Amino acid sequence: MTWSWRYEAEDGKPISGPNEAFSSQADAESYLGQTWKDRVADGANTAILVEDDRVEYRMSLEA
């Protein structure tokens, strides 16, 4: 299993972000906890946690 993040702008369009892969959900969530402000600065409004090709959940990055 590989976990990764996808990012979307407020209008739902994909935003490019780091293409990091994680071996666990906890590692992926820890990473986002440390870098979410950078993703917002890049224009992301939503983060989507993906396991392989399955969406685990979506979350807002609004403060």
The model's pLDDT over 3-45, given as tens digits with 9 standing for 90+, comes to 999 999 999 999 998 999 999 999 999 999 999 999 999 999 9
Number of domains in the chain: 1
pTM: 0.92
For 12, the domain range is 3-60
pLDDT, residue 14, reads 96
Q: Report CA-CA distances (Å) from 1 to 16, 51, 53, 58.
A: 22, 7, 10, 18
